Amino acid sequence: MATPKPTEITLHKQSRTLEVAFDSGDRFVMPCEYLRVHSPSAEVQGHGPGERVLVAGKREVNIGAIEPVGNYAVLLRFSDGHATGIFSWETLYDLGINQDSNWQSYLGALEKNQLSREPKSPYGHPLPMRGPKPR
């Protein structure tokens, strides 16, 4: 079966979510934080097996721009400056369909490593949370 292709991609800046509808009928609303910490970039995924980097402190991240890459992907430019992950249609669909389990695994890894979703101040302390909490 071919990977579903997006029919609509909508950035909701205020709620910091990306809504993606696919030609399969599936529709996913994914927090920008979720997409940032699961970026397909080598910076996050590493350059080989077992090299994945646990990214913390991204609760407040947003997407500043969405740029098409051919007819197979988009580049998401995040508000923290991260802009090296190309999200193929397959990757976006996989992140959508597996969002709940991926998110729980991420939260568990943060807890295990005593890390936080909260951004840090320049002094290394967590900043107070603002706005709605992603799932």
55-83 confidence digits (pLDDT tens): 999 999 999 999 999 999 999 999 999 99
Cβ atoms 48, 54 nearer than 8 A = no
80-123 confidence digits (pLDDT tens): 999 998 999 999 999 999 999 999 999 999 999 999 999 876 65
In this prediction the pTM is 0.86
List domains and CATH numbers for the chain.
6-112 (3.30.2020.30)
Cβ atoms 38, 82 nearer than 8 A = no
Query: What secondary structure letter does DSSP report for 56?
Result: -
Phi-psi category of 16—alpha, beta or left, where left has phi over 0 and alpha has psi -120 to 50? left
